């Protein structure tokens, strides 16, 4: 007897959620229907189940939500970028070197900086510091005398002195002039300390870019010098006999540039300015292209904001070709190349895993009969429900539209009469239920017949479930809320089953903005995400939110005082999964201290309140003890839902 073919396959899940497009071969789906991540085990690569990682984490006493970090993916990204430039340099017979730097601001967590410097050592891969605290961190971790530390951002006297002292110690620190006034202070401190600086100058590009952050790098940028200001700085350095200190030209095109054409055009403009500075007599030798290397969050490989129409290999080749063409034409030596590619390096590094706590969906109760002497409007909508459900299997589009129009009319009239006091609250409730039941019928018939309608947005609400995830958009995915950044979201298990529920994902904050209602799936952007129904009580339905390694940990805020999630870092050693680092998420007490509360004072104040309740005989002394225990236990607890 032939087995019945399943109504859903792993391949269909992969296609629906696009994991093989945005996953960049790091993530896939196993034969068990679970999301796997590819990690290194010596010289081999092994597929590791993310649900297995979570199960192991739970056995060790940690709860969801959790941010899982994969050091291997960070290493692969560093290798891909550096090897991409090495190949492009070799094939183009380019005479300069590549010396990339990682911008600390993209993910400032200590573990990230430690691993970037460890895995980047073989390539002399450096760091970019945009503030004094970042420079202090960089100086502690950058022990490679051939790697660069690029100093961007506003620089006060302490910042400049630290950079100069590091130069004296043999560290390759480059200070970038972001505004004209910085040069005077740098020259003053250089003279006082007797240490010559290595300088770069940032220009404002005129080349048009694209994407969310395009204005951060063009003529509207708050940082950078225009050409006249650059020439004034050159003249000042020449007058001081320090033009030889000008070593680097820097520009920043913006983050996540989706078009390779825009990147190439910027490289040409930057190279032209670089050549001009060499011709002015500056020593130069380094061209810093800033950030911009994009990744495909949506997997569509397009020129849209959340995507890119190129890969790392093409990026490296085009940049090298553009710069060499300009410099060869001018007879200028090829400069060493720096890029500040942060997002492309670290985005894949982290995955947020959350569990679904609850569901809110419309389910018709199927009102059998009306109370005696119902209002006429309630009787009308009750009869309309019977008329709709009693129609044949294939009603015409005109008939469906008529039912829809009548339902909307009756619902609005019922609401109006309720506001006038002519209909009771229970009668209005019955009218609303009948209305939604009719719209459910209308929606299903429209879908079955392949009809489209101007009212489909309203009908969509009938079919949409709200799944409440154990997370905070504001803390863990601030770019989703702030700039509508798309992140891949999908179940990490049950992928051999067909997802049947269209879902909007809500977090556990009390804010209406705390939701995700834009998803990439089925090769397009949609307002809902197909997920599975949750049937088994006590079993977590788990979702993964991917590519969150860039900026999200750094930008997260304490909306509703929900703090950092638990964090685990994993790798494979000898064929076995190893949890290399476990960081407990913020407790309630810790989060409260961030906003200037003192936990001991909170306990004291609450104890006074509890004692007053004992005196007034609202509670007993024993109950006071139990209540204080609960209060203090709450302070020690996880800020997220605890099972």
Catalytic positions? 510
- Please give the structure tokens belonging to residue 526: 């949609």
Q: Could you give the 3-state DSSP secondary structure of residue 374?
A: coil
Q: 587: closest CA among 599, 576, 578, 600?
A: 599
| Residue 65 C-beta-side C-alpha neighbours within 13 Å | 29
Tokens of residue 47, six digits: 């597929």
DSSP string, 16-59: HHTHHHHTTTTEEE-TTS-EEEEEEETTEEEEEEHHHHHHHHHH
- Check if the beta carbon of residue 227 is closer than 8 Å to that of residue 280: no
Length of the chain: 643
**Residues contacting 278, CB < 8 A, separation 6+:** 284, 330, 332
Separation between Cα atoms, residue 354 and residue 480, nearest integer Å: 16
| 123: enclosing H helix or E strand | none
- Using DSSP's 3-state secondary structure scheme, residue 122 falls into helix
Is the peptide bond preceding residue 304 cis, with omega within 30 degrees of 0? no
Burial of 544 (0-12, 13-18, 19+ CB in 10 A): buried
| Pairing relationship of beta strands 148-151 and 126-129 according to DSSP bridges | parallel
Dihedral angle, C-alpha 401, 402, 405, 406, nearest 10 °? -150
User: Tokens for 613?
Assistant: 């309740």
Which runs of consecutive H residues, i.e. helices, occur in 206-293? 227-239, 260-279
Nearest-angstrom CA–CA distance, 335 and 283: 11
Mapped onto helix, strand or coil, the DSSP state of residue 241 is: coil
Give the phi and the psi of residue 414 in degrees, each rounded to 5: -60, -45
Other CB atoms within a 10 A radius of the CB of residue 3 amount to 5
The residue whose two tokens read 């080749």 is 317
Q: What Rg do the C-alpha atoms of the chain give, in angstroms?
A: 30
Q: Are 298 and 306 in contact (CB under 8 A)?
A: yes
Give the list of residues 6+ apart from residue 394 with CB closer than 8 angstroms, or none: 449
């Amino acid at each position: 007897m032939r087995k019945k073919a399943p109504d859903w396959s792993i391949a269909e899940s992969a296609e629906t959620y696009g994991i093989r497009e945005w996953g960049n071969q790091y993530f896939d789906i196993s034969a068990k229907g679970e999301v796997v991540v590819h990690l290194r085990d010596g010289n081999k690569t092994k597929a590791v189940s993310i649900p297995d990682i979570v199960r192991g984490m739970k056995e060790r006493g940690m709860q969801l939500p959790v941010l899982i970090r994969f050091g291997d993916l960070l290493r692969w990204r560093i290798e891909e970028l550096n090897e991409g430039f090495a190949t492009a340099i070799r094939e183009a017979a380019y005479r300069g070197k590549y010396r990339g730097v990682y911008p600390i601001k993209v993910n400032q967590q200590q573990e990230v900086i430690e691993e970037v410097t460890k895995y980047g050592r073989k390539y002399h891969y450096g760091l970019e510091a945009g503030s004094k605290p970042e420079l202090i961190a960089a100086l502690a971790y950058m022990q490679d005398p051939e790697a660069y530390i690029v100093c961007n951002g506003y620089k006060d006297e302490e910042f400049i002195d630290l950079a100069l002292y590091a130069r004296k110690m043999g560290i390759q620190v480059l200070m970038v002039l972001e505004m004209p006034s910085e040069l005077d202070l740098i020259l003053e401190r250089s003279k006082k300390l007797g240490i010559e600086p290595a300088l770069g100058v940032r220009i404002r590009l005129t080349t048009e870019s694209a994407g969310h952050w395009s204005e951060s790098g063009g003529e509207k940028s708050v940082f950078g010098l225009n050409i006249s200001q650059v020439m004034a700085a050159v003249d000042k350095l020449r007058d001081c006999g320090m033009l030889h200190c000008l070593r680097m030209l820097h520009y920043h095109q913006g983050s996540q540039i989706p078009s390779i054409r825009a990147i190439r055009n910027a490289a040409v403009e930057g190279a032209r300015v670089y050549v001009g500075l060499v011709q002015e007599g500056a020593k130069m030798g380094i061209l810093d292209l800033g950030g911009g290397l994009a990744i495909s969050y949506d997997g569509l490989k397009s020129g849209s904001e959340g995507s890119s129409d190129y890969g790392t290999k093409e990026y490296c080749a085009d940049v090298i070709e553009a710069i060499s063409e300009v410099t060869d034409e001018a007879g200028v030596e090829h400069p060493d190349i720096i890029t500040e590619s942060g997002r492309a390096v670290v985005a894949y590094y982290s995955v947020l895993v959350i569990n679904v706590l609850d569901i809110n969906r419309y389910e018709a109760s199927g009102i059998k009969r009306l109370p005696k002497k119902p209002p006429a409007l309630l009787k009308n909508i009750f009869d309309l429900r019977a008329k709709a459900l009693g129609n044949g299997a294939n009603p015409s589009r005109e008939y469906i539209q008529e039912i829809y129009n009548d339902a909307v009319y009756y619902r609005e009239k019922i609401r109006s009469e309720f506001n006038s006091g002519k209909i009771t609250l229970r009668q209005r409730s019955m009218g609303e239920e009948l209305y939604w039941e009719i719209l459910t019928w209308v929606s299903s018939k429209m879908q079955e017949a392949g009809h489209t309608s101007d009212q489909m947005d309203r009908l969509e609400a009938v079919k949409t479930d709200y799944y409440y995830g154990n997370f905070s958009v504001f803390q863990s995915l601030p770019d989703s809320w702030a700039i509508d950044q798309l992140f891949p979201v999908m179940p990490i298990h049950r992928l051999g089953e067909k997802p049947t529920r269209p879902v909007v994902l809500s977090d556990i904050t009390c804010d209406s903005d705390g939701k995700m209602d834009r998803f990439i799936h089925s090769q397009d952007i949609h307002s809902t995400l197909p997920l599975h129904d949750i049937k088994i009580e006590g079993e977590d339905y788990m979702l993964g939110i991917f590519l969150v390694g860039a900026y999200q940990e750094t930008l997260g805020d304490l909306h509703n005082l929900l703090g950092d999630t638990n964090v685990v870092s994993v790798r494979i050693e000898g064929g076995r999964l190893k949890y290399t680092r476990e960081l407990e998420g913020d407790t309630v007490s810790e989060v409260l201290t961030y906003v200037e509360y003192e936990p001991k004072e909170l306990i004291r104040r609450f104890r006074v309140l509890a004692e007053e309740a004992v005196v007034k005989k609202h509670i007993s002394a024993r109950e006071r003890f139990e209540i204080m225990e609960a209060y203090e236990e709450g302070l020690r607890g996880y800020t997220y839902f605890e099972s």
